Amino acid sequence: MEASEKEKKSLNFIETIIEEDIKNHKNDARVHTRFPPEPNGYLHIGHAKSICLNFGMAEKYNGKCNLRFDDTNPTKEEMEYVDSIKADVQWLGFEWNGQELFASDYFDQLYDWAVMLIKKGKAYVDDQPQELISQQRGTPTRPGIESPFRSRSIDENLALFEAMKRGDFPNGAKVLRAKVDMASPNMHMRDPVMYRILNAPHHRTGDTWKIYPMYDYAHGQSDYLEGITHSLCTLEFEVHRPLYDWFLDELIDTEYRPRQIEFARLNLSYTVMSKRKLLELVKNGVVNGWDDPRMPTIAGLRRRGYTAASIRTFADRIGVAKRDNTIDVGLLEFSVREDLNNIAPRVMAVLDPVKLIISNYPEGQTEQIELINNPEQPEAGSRNIPFSRELYIERDDFMIDPPKKFFRLAPDKEVRLKGAYVVRCESYELDDAGEVKTIYCSYDAETRSGTGTKNPKVKGTLHWVEANTAVDAEVRLYDRLFNDEDPAGHKEKDAMEFLNPDSLQIKTYCKLERMLADVQPEDKFQFQRIGYFCVDKDSKAGQLVFNRTVSLRDTWAKMNQ
């Protein structure tokens, strides 16, 4: 049955290719992918798509997936990022094949191959400065012209390249170029640079190397050395593919060949995704670091309260194709709500408290109210919370002069207090500022939940917290960082002009039911009727801090828009 279900499910274009390759016994019908981040920044939700794809294909086809750091540029890369990337991949729930790998593991082999290319007359040392080489490359619509050093003798090239390796020249003095075709309509084939001189220590190879390979020269061969079969990358590398194949053609002679396949990167509405823009947000202090809960980074989403499972489901839902796409950020929110709805314990929390006094409830009396922990999970059981004469309810749940469809509390109106009694608003008191200070109600002792004696139909049920036992907390309400659907998509305006000034709202005087006094960072809850919240890493006993992951669907708020 499972097999027939699998057959029915349609394939994305990558799965189609893979299944075709398996059928043809290409590369011994192996499937081996890799996730190849450059360790120069934090992973974001776009990387998550790639991670889920690469690891997902390996899982689905009983293959393997490597984690390989593309560390060919020592001036940009740091060990710190290696660690954060590993942590993020693991948190997402994936296990890479063996040890993590590095392109720098292959520097020796890459060098030998470069020498081989020189000997074949397919590579040469160019002495020209960067600007000149750049000029000679032409433009997409005009062919380039050949470097005067292009026809150097093999021996000279060999000697020069070795001298480059030795460190005889300053940065930028020379480069090694592949001899391909300066007239190619593909810019990347116009004698691309293979090696540049970089007198910089590498985070793994230290001072061993003075020259470092370029991405194009390193990536395909790294894939080859690792036995990668399907090298999945984003669309912008499409034009690099002929070069990817060119190096492999010149260098190797086996039947096994890795194949580069490109897919469209993820774009999310109301979000920026480029490393540069993300860095700008951090550097300018718009957010508080890479793991700010408003950031689309894995670390940010995690701190925000997203579950790994919800991100994986999201990645499944958005699919994979080659056309440019912008996913509605609402789909991400839907995915996390769906997961949290199933797993998050329900608790009572009042974010904007106003005192409610039940005038006819005996002073000093307390009773225990039993509340279901999670209606979606009967086995999660129930708990008791105290109820007494003085409670807090949400300010929004009371209106002096309510509109017709307002199902909550108002003068002379009745509501049920969740799990407890039906109360009727008798009067209210304002403070000097004209804000509601206290609401006075009466209760009907026979309406207690579960007793069944009396169950009047009331339209609304409110959450509440017992005043004396409530614990205080700070709650951080997050909203989208940008007000514009495509903040980075404007030619004339910078994304930063569309920043949402209300992306963070801090509630300082929240009242929570007492069981929340003892929670740990990343613990997740549904604050009944409000949304999903998780404990922030800033939280301490006695100084609780919660982040709003996402609000509940709110048809009432929608009606009032």
Near RNA in 280-319, by CB under 7 A: 317-319
Q: What are phi and psi of 417, to 5 degrees?
A: -85, 120
Strand-pair partners of 33? 65
Residue 271 in contact with RNA, rule: CB under 7 A = no
Strand-pair partners of 391? 356, 466
Long-range contacts of 140-146 (CB under 8 A, 24+ apart): 140/185, 140/187, 143/182, 143/183, 143/184, 143/190, 144/182, 144/183, 144/190, 144/191, 145/182, 146/182, 146/191
Residue 237 in contact with RNA, rule: CB under 7 A = yes
Residue 466 annotated in active site: no
Which of 91, 407 has the CB closer to RNA? 407
Place of tokens 């790998």: 101
The binding track of 88-127 with respect to RNA, each residue x by CB under 7 A or -, is ----------------------------------------
Q: Is 465 helix (H, G, I), strand (E, B) or coil?
A: strand
Strand-pair partners of 504? 478
Residues 354-383 that bind RNA (CB under 7 A): 374-376
Residue 401 in contact with RNA, rule: CB under 7 A = no
**CB of 387 vs RNA, minimal distance in Å:** 12
Point out the catalytic residue in the list 86, 150, 257, 275.
275
Q: Please give the sequence-ordered ranges of beta strands (E in DSSP) within 157-269, or none if there are none.
A: 175-178, 193-197, 211-213, 230-234, 259-263
Residue 188 in contact with RNA, rule: CB under 7 A = yes
**CB of 105 vs RNA, minimal distance in Å:** 14
Residue 331 in contact with RNA, rule: CB under 7 A = yes
**CB of 81 vs RNA, minimal distance in Å:** 12
- Cα–Cα distance measured from residue 390 to residue 365, given in angstroms and rounded to the nearest whole number: 10
Helix (H) or strand (E) holding 134: helix 130-136
Residue 241 annotated in active site: no
Which of 354, 504 has the CB closer to RNA? 354
**CB of 264 vs RNA, minimal distance in Å:** 6
- Cα-only R_g, the chain: 31
Name which position in 49, 416, 476, 511 contacts RNA (CB under 7 A).
416
Name which position in 165, 389, 448, 480 contacts RNA (CB under 7 A).
448
Residue 303 annotated in active site: no
Residues 10-29 that bind RNA (CB under 7 A): 10-13, 16
**CB of 389 vs RNA, minimal distance in Å:** 19
Residue 529 in contact with RNA, rule: CB under 7 A = yes
Which of 341, 483 has the CB closer to RNA? 341
Point out the catalytic residue in the list 265, 355, 383, 507.
265
Contact 505, 514 (CB under 8 A): no
**CB of 542 vs RNA, minimal distance in Å:** 27
Residue 279 in contact with RNA, rule: CB under 7 A = no
User: Which residues, in sequence order, are CB contacts of 46 under 8 Å at separation 6+?
Assistant: 265, 266, 267, 268, 273, 296
Of 529, 510, 525, which Cα lies nearest the Cα of 407? 529
Residues 240-269 that bind RNA (CB under 7 A): 240, 264
Residues touching RNA, count (CB under 7 A):
93
User: Which residues, in sequence order, are CB contacts of 4 under 8 Å at separation 6+?
Assistant: none
CB atoms within 10 A of CB 207: 10
**CB of 11 vs RNA, minimal distance in Å:** 5
Which window, 356-364, 497-505, 513-521, 522-530, contacts RNA (CB under 7 A)?
A: 522-530
DSSP string, 360-392: TSPTT-EEEEEEES-TT-GGG-EEEEEEESEEE
Which of 88, 292 has the CB closer to RNA? 88
Residue 495 in contact with RNA, rule: CB under 7 A = no
The binding track of 127-166 with respect to RNA, each residue x by CB under 7 A or -, is -xxx--xx--xxxxx-------------------------
Q: What are phi and psi of 346, to 5 degrees?
A: -85, 135
Which of 267, 500 has the CB closer to RNA? 267
Point out the catalytic residue in the list 19, 38, 474, 485.
38
Which window, 104-112, 193-201, 356-364, 504-512, contacts RNA (CB under 7 A)?
A: 193-201
CB atoms within 10 A of CB 138: 16
Residue 548 in contact with RNA, rule: CB under 7 A = no
Residues 39-98 that bind RNA (CB under 7 A): 70, 72-73, 76
Alpha helix ranges (H) inside 235-321: 241-251, 275-283, 298-304, 308-318
Q: Which residues are catalytic?
A: 38, 265, 275
